[in-house]
Chains A and B, each alone.
Chain A
Amino acid sequence: MKINFNMNGKPVEIDVDPSMRFLDVVRDVLHLNGTKEGCGEGSCGACVVLMDGKSVNSCLLPVANAIGHDFVTIEGLKETKEFDILQQAFAEMGGSQCGFCTPGMIIAAYSLLKHNPYPTEAQVREEMSGNLCRCTGYQAIVEAVLKAAKKGAGLW
């Protein structure tokens, strides 16, 4: 089945099984490997991508439901100013260790700040709780998101 959507600002047309997971489309068809698979059932957030500006677990999204939507993966986000602020804050606070969850964390943080540019610590913890990290203990990531919110004030 022919499926059309926008990926990182460009129109995409692919011919795939409509029940295919969007995660597999991203990784295996479009070869955008910054999106990771951690659990395959929406528990860990390593595979989140932006769908019309909101983060979604791409492992739970059948590609048929992607038709006509706008998607951004880390490959698209990394060219933005917002990414630069987020990555600097993650670097300064030590928000990444093994790095496997990091692209998903950046996407989730971006999505959070776009909708809530001045979150409290509790809001960061609540809204990002769909993203798991086994290395950092989360504190450094929370501090990084709060720092990015402050530094990017007005940008989000």
Chain B
Amino acid sequence: MDKFKTSTAKVDFPEKVRGEAKFTDDISFPDMLFAKTVRSTVARGKIKKITLPKMPEGYHWFCADDIKGENVVNIIFSDWPVFAAGRVKFIGESIGIFVGKDKEILDKLASEIKIDYEEETPVYELTESYIHKAFKKGDYEAAKAKAVKVIKHTYETGYQEQAYLENQGIICYFDENDKLTLTGSMQCPFYIKRAVMRSCGLKDDEVRVIQPAVGGAFGGKEHYPSMIGSQVAVAAIALHKPVKMCFERAEDITFTTKRHPSHSEYEALIDQDNNILGLKIRVGLNGGAYKGCSGVVLSRALIASSNAYVFENLDVVGDVYMTNTTPTAAFRGFGSPQTIFAMEMFIHHVAKELGVDPLELRFKYLAKQGDVTANNGHFHDPIVLKELMEKAMKMSDYKRKLKAYSKPGCNKGIGMSIFLHGCGFTGSGESDIIHGKVKLVKDEHDHVYCYAAPVDFGQGNRTTLKKIVSNTLGLPEDQVSFEAPDTDHTPDSGPTAASRTIIIVGFLFEKCAKHLKEIWKSGERQEYVEPYVGPSYIHWDEDTMQGDAYPGYSWGVNIVEVEFNPVTYQVSVLNTWSTYDVGRVVDERIAVGQADGGLLQGLGYGYLEEMKCVDGRMRNRNLSDYIIPTFEDAPHMETAFIDNPFIYGANGAKGMGELTLVGGAPAVALAIENAIGRKISKIPANPEYLMEVMKHEN
């Protein structure tokens, strides 16, 4: 029996099912105060004057003037102020916080504060590029000479809200040694620690961050908690009291970061034998008011823009545009769901236009081991994409259904997406920038404690990482513990992001456990710290975007079957069949859980979830008007894995958190195309859009 794949008990399950796990809002301290944010009501302008209401005793106001360090949130590109400094750039930007004991009084103060603005004309269209990236492969211009046809299409994707069930929230307090400590709903404890150090002007040993139970994140808690953390820290330090700020749903949906809306233009050069000679790709992302991590999102969107296909000539350009709207940032997939949707639709649309079988056209350009990637690196490892496709097609009876559903009036459809996802930080970032470390400590009773920074916000990594250690050491699972990250005791193994937890941190734990095993002395306290050393053959230049974009890739296929209602234009997703190459699965039940949950988020992105921003204001305010899939929307899902062990992964495992989301939207969109016999070029393909498509082409 394969002890790695066999499902093991999820370590955090008992306390969660019994309602005993402490999430942020379940934690309180004596003397704790609450904070309420005052937000900009204009999209762009100067703050002329702030008139505070009469402040009751014990109530306080904190704003940009109170910041002792730098007034920026420490993100990859730190342009977002902790509190607006003299000017505002979007509706909802934090201007300050009221702090005090009674939430109702805080709400009253927030409604009474008067802020005078000198308004400026806001920008809502994609016209002001503030990040620009480009790369080429081969010579697209020269290839034009051999082309007999040029095919162009445009694709659009909307916002997507993470919609984790637990809203954002942070508490800042002083620990038993009077050290400034933050706990809260987070993905990256060390990001918060560094952000608070920078905004409050504190040293490394003056800030501690501890992770409690976290109710979902999906990228939405990668950077935003650094802002809330900085804000409550400013107040907690000044008052020397615990300060808690937990958002309600409306505040969370309207003002926290979401997935970048995109607009992509694809152009293909076709020769006389219907070969695709090359692609010209232009991608625009709406970054909102501040850059934050948008540069990296763009980078990953462009790298993924030709998806799992290899073409000789590529001309790829992308921009992130500043608009006076809620900033967009990390969300599971990080740029690639937008371009993978566009590429999957485009290759299909090209095939249709050429009158060739889309499946054959896709097979012709599938990536193979040794191929040169879009960025002139190489696919170094074996690729089993063909096997994944064949297996998924067999599971779903794809070919028969595709033919049957193509008959007009049957109102059923089937669609397939093929996709890849780069695991870990781009290029050699893991070795050069992150320098992740993990630590194992063995006590006198030979019990082993695992220390690393990844936050388990549902993915199950407390269970899977612990399992990698216990299996490598050959110990029973109850002889190994994995504690939640606490920056005072945990080495910085990097953020919980980029599908890196298993492929990078898991690999580190496997190596660390092997080393501990070599020096193992029963009955003695021992510890071992393992630093990350990546594959030496990975070289990447971020400025030119040339080289190996990722240390490794995971691959997948989604097949989706839908039913279309020609009266209401509603789509029901009936069944899905998915196959994945994630190297080797660490725990079957957890892996299937990632596959199911990721795919449903991807499907929701494709046909259901719509967020609208009108005149700088988000129209959606709760889960009643931002619709995520329910029990009844969710299809029956079947998932299979094909082993393809990765030599730099724990027991061969690669990443899978994001992979499972990126194929959902194109698969459901292609299924809808099959059902209605019309082209889909925009998601979400909801009834309003489908009605437009049906009427327009009639």
Which residues of A line the B interface, CB within 8 A? 32-44, 46, 73-75, 78, 87, 90-91, 93-94, 96-103, 106, 124-126, 128-129, 131-142
**Which residues from B are CB-within-8-Å of A98?**
164-166, 214-217, 457-458
Interface segment, B12-20, B75-83, B171-179, B392-400?
B12-20
**Which residues from B are CB-within-8-Å of A124?**
631
* B215, A100: Cβ atoms closer than 8 Å: yes
* B593, A136: Cβ atoms closer than 8 Å: yes
Number of A-B contacts (CB under 8 A): 158
Having A39-B622, A99-B17, A136-B593, one finds 8 other A-B pairs with CB under 8 Å, namely A38-B166, A74-B18, A87-B17, A96-B10, A96-B13, A98-B457, A134-B165, A140-B593
* B17, A133: Cβ atoms closer than 8 Å: no
User: How far is B458's CA from A90's CA once the two chains are assembled, in angstroms?
Assistant: 14
Given A44-B165, A134-B164, A137-B597, does the pair A103, B636 have CB atoms closer than 8 Å?
no
Interface string of B199-241 (1 = CB under 8 A from A): 0000000000000011111100000000000000000000000
User: How far is B23's CA from A141's CA once the two chains are assembled, in angstroms?
Assistant: 21
User: How far is B16's CA from A91's CA once the two chains are assembled, in angstroms?
Assistant: 11
User: How far is B17's CA from A90's CA once the two chains are assembled, in angstroms?
Assistant: 8
* B634, A134: Cβ atoms closer than 8 Å: no
In the complex, what residue of chain A is closest to B163 when comparing beta carbons? A134
**Which residues from A are CB-within-8-Å of B351?**
none
- Which of A33, A75, A78, A129 gathers most chain B CB within 10 Å? A33
**Which residues from B are CB-within-8-Å of A94?**
7, 10, 589-590, 592-593
**Which residues from A are CB-within-8-Å of B589?**
93-94
User: How far is B19's CA from A46's CA once the two chains are assembled, in angstroms?
Assistant: 11
- Dominant SS at the A interface? loop
Tell me the minimal C-beta distance from B252 to chain A in angstroms.
10
* B13, A131: Cβ atoms closer than 8 Å: no
**Which residues from A are CB-within-8-Å of B166?**
36, 38, 98, 100
* A138, B631: Cβ atoms closer than 8 Å: yes
Tell me the minimal C-beta distance from B166 to chain A in angstroms.
4
Tell me the minimal C-beta distance from B67 to chain A in angstroms.
31
Interface string of B629-647 (1 = CB under 8 A from A): 1111010110000000000
**Which residues from B are CB-within-8-Å of A75?**
19
Total interface residues in chain B, CB < 8 Å: 56
User: Could you say which of B7, B213, B623 contacts A39, with CB atoms under 8 Å apart?
Assistant: B623
**Which residues from A are CB-within-8-Å of B630?**
129, 132, 138
Given A33-B19, A74-B19, A139-B637, does the pair A41, B624 have CB atoms closer than 8 Å?
yes
- Dominant SS at the B interface? loop
* A99, B12: Cβ atoms closer than 8 Å: yes
User: Could you say which of B10, B20, B163, B599 contacts A91, with CB atoms under 8 Å apart?
Assistant: B10
Tell me the minimal C-beta distance from A81 to chain B in angstroms.
15
In the complex, what residue of chain B is closest to A33 when comparing beta carbons? B26
Q: List 22 A-B contacts (CB under 8 A).
A: A32-B19, A33-B26, A36-B23, A40-B622, A44-B623, A46-B165, A87-B17, A90-B13, A91-B10, A94-B593, A96-B10, A96-B17, A97-B216, A100-B166, A102-B19, A103-B19, A129-B630, A134-B162, A134-B163, A134-B601, A139-B637, A140-B592
**Which residues from A are CB-within-8-Å of B16?**
96, 99, 102
Tell me the minimal C-beta distance from B662 to chain A in angstroms.
15
**Which residues from B are CB-within-8-Å of A34?**
18-20
B9 at the A/B interface (Cβ < 8 Å)?
yes
* B457, A106: Cβ atoms closer than 8 Å: no
B156 at the A/B interface (Cβ < 8 Å)?
no
User: Could you say which of B19, B460, B597, B636 contacts A134, with CB atoms under 8 Å apart?
Assistant: B597
Tell me the minimal C-beta distance from A99 to chain B in angstroms.
3
Interface string of B4-33 (1 = CB under 8 A from A): 000101101110111111110110000000
- Which of B21, B589, B623, B624 gathers most chain A CB within 10 Å? B623
* B636, A139: Cβ atoms closer than 8 Å: yes
**Which residues from A are CB-within-8-Å of B658?**
none
